[in-house]
Chains A and B, each alone.
Chain A
């Protein structure tokens, strides 16, 4: 791709440098606001920092260090974004289902807010999955889109979860909104199983799932670094989205202001 030094030969990796700059920014912000220099405003920022550093290094490895793929050539480098986004889409939507079941069993608001947060982050990851998949398909299959079982089932999965958020936005009553969101999320999760199995059930142009035994060791390592980057960033994004949902729920529950007294 481009002639840059391998990551192992650098005194400081780009990811470490990004992490140090981010820590320096936090320290300077703390000092300017009169707080202790080591103060971390929220626990999730630690996940964001690690995720960002891993992503920078993971993408450097994917673009520079990774060997050329035997059949796909340079295009194979898209794998280091596409595959981790697919894994994390599945993981995040699986947690959406777990939280939805948790809400239906306990009725606790925290589960409802987590369903909302994980659904939104899962949709973002599935958009990344779809976009990188299309950019992968064009040079390898010759087309951006094909009515292939894997592509169609992934799109149905994404649209199902978008439908869950649309349903949520359409309901005013908090109790009904939470219940129907959870029911919708559980129903949408069934499409996830179809997506996963689509390459086995039908004749698909998309390859079957690989395993560490079928991929070269240096490629597995880079895939894992990028997967952990996406995992840590997803935890950070879900936590940030949860804080917005929690603040909104508290505002909705607050008693209305007394009518203004006029003389």
Chain B
């Protein structure tokens, strides 16, 4: 391995993973909230 292959040592790019993380957090929280709403008996929906 050449020393030049090491690069700067700083991670570059990766924006897609950032967006995926934030999108997944919303998807999970909203999805779970929806599941709670659907499971709530009609009398308790307030």
Q: Which residues of A contact B (CB under 8 A)?
A: 1, 41-42, 55, 59, 62-63, 70-75, 77-78, 81-82, 85, 124, 127-128, 131-132, 135-136, 138-140, 233, 237, 240-241, 243-244, 247, 251
Between A and B, 18 residue pairs with Cβ closer than 8 Å are: A1-B18, A42-B46, A63-B18, A77-B18, A85-B25, A124-B32, A128-B24, A128-B28, A131-B21, A132-B21, A136-B21, A139-B11, A140-B11, A233-B29, A237-B32, A240-B36, A241-B36, A244-B41
Q: Is the CB of A78 within 8 A of B32?
A: no
The DSSP consensus for interface residues of chain A is: helix
- Tell me whether A132 and B24 are in contact (CB under 8 A): yes
Is the beta-carbon distance between B33 and A139 smaller than 8 angstroms? no
Q: Number of A-B pairs whose CB atoms are under 8 Å? A: 85
Bound: A136/B19 CA distance, A:
11
Task: Give Cα distance in the complex from A128 to B28, angstroms.
Answer: 7
Point out the residues of chain B lying under 8 angstroms from A243, CB to CB.
40, 44
Q: Nearest 5 A-B pairs (CB), nearest first?
A: A139-B14, A75-B14, A41-B46, A78-B21, A135-B17
Residues of B within 8 A of A136 (CB): 17, 21
Beta-carbon contacts under 8 Å, B12-36 to A = 12-15, 17-18, 20-22, 24-25, 28-29, 32-33, 36
Cβ-based interface call for B3 (8 A): no
Q: Which of B's residues lie within 8 Å of A, judged by CB? A: 9-15, 17-18, 20-22, 24-25, 28-29, 32-33, 36, 39-41, 43-44, 46
